[in-house]
Structure 1
Amino acid sequence: MEIFIRKNSDLPIYEQVTTQIKALISKGKLSPGEAIPSMRALAKKLGISVITVQRAYDELAKEGFIETIPAKGSFISENCLAFFEEEMTKKLEMHLQSAVQIAHDFDIPITTLHELIDFFNEEED
């Protein structure tokens, strides 16, 4: 599991860890049921505090991305993909809500917003 920490980032270290683990899950590089390094092992590898890794793992567990089994370790949750999809849907909703608000604030027709979405969607294909 490759995680890179940027000490000069505005993002707290524990968030860098959680964000990168979520990205590894979304890209299929971490699969449901797969074991992840112990908190101590990951802390040592990254050169960070065990408490920081614990905070990251606690956050991931709270969000449903990992499960920790006492005396066995931490594993990618069987439901992690559903949680990831839900998280991405919430982010998308938030961005779309902002776009609609901007359109309303500047009297831009919603049809223009639809056209922009179609345009950007076609660029991806």
Structure 2
Amino acid sequence: MNILIATNSKVPLFEQIKDQIKQHIFTGKLQEGDSLPSMRVLAKELKVSVITTKRAYEELEREGYVISTIGKGTFVAGQQPHVLKEWQMREIENELERVVQSGKQIGLTKQDFIELLDVYYEEDV
């Protein structure tokens, strides 16, 4: 599992870890039943505190992305396609809310957003 930590980011380390694991699940790099590294192993690999990885895993479990079993480890929880899509939609909505708030702060109108959306939507990704 490839996780990159940006130490100069304003995003907390545990959140960076959590978000990247979720992204691996969304893209299919991690699938139902796949095991995650132990908190200690991941902490050592990323050169962060075990408390940081523990918090990321706990939040992932609380949100339903993983299941932890004492003595066995942490595994990707089973997601049905419609549930996975719902999670992805929720992530997009959260990001969109942040973008709209930032846009409003600099005076963008709804029409400005629609024009920007048109440009980015039509662009080849």
Calculate the TM-score normalised by the size of structure 1: 0.74
Deviations 1:47-71 (A, max 9, x none): 1111110000000001111100111
**Structure 1 residue runs of 4+, over 4 Å off?**
80-84, 105-108, 115-120
Deviations 1:46-102 (A, max 9, x none): 111111100000000011111001111000111276554223323444538x49xx7
What SS does structure 2 have at the residue aligned with 1:17? Answer: helix
What SS does structure 2 have at the residue aligned with 1:30? Answer: coil
Extract unaligned runs of 5+ from structure 2. none
Change in Cα spacing, 1:20 to 1:118, as seen in structure 2 (3 Å) is: same
Distance in 2 (alpha carbons) for counterparts of 1:124 and 1:82: 26
Name the count of aligned residue pairs: 119
Distance in 2 (alpha carbons) for counterparts of 1:106 and 1:10: 27
What SS does structure 2 have at the residue aligned with 1:32? Answer: coil
**Larger Cα-atom Rg:** 1
What SS does structure 2 have at the residue aligned with 1:75? Answer: strand
Calculate the TM-score normalised by the size of structure 2: 0.74
Distance in 1 (alpha carbons) for counterparts of 2:59 and 2:110: 41
Distance in 1 (alpha carbons) for counterparts of 2:22 and 2:43: 18
Q: Which residue of 2 aligns with 1:44?
A: 44
Q: Which residue of 1 aligns with 2:19?
A: 19
Q: Which residue of 1 aligns with 2:60?
A: 60
**Preserved contact between residue 65 and residue 77 of structure 1 (Cα < 8 Å):** yes
Aligned-residue offset at 1:119: 5.8
Extract unaligned runs of 5+ from structure 1. none
1:7 aligns with 2:4: no
What SS does structure 1 have at the residue aligned with 2:86? Answer: helix
**Preserved contact between residue 26 and residue 88 of structure 2 (Cα < 8 Å):** no
Change in Cα spacing, 1:11 to 1:56, as seen in structure 2 (3 Å) is: same
Aligned-residue offset at 1:124: 4.0
Identity of aligned residues (%): 39
Q: Which residue of 1 aligns with 2:33?
A: 33
Aligned-residue offset at 1:116: 6.7
Q: Which residue of 2 aligns with 1:123?
A: 123
Aligned-residue offset at 1:106: 4.9
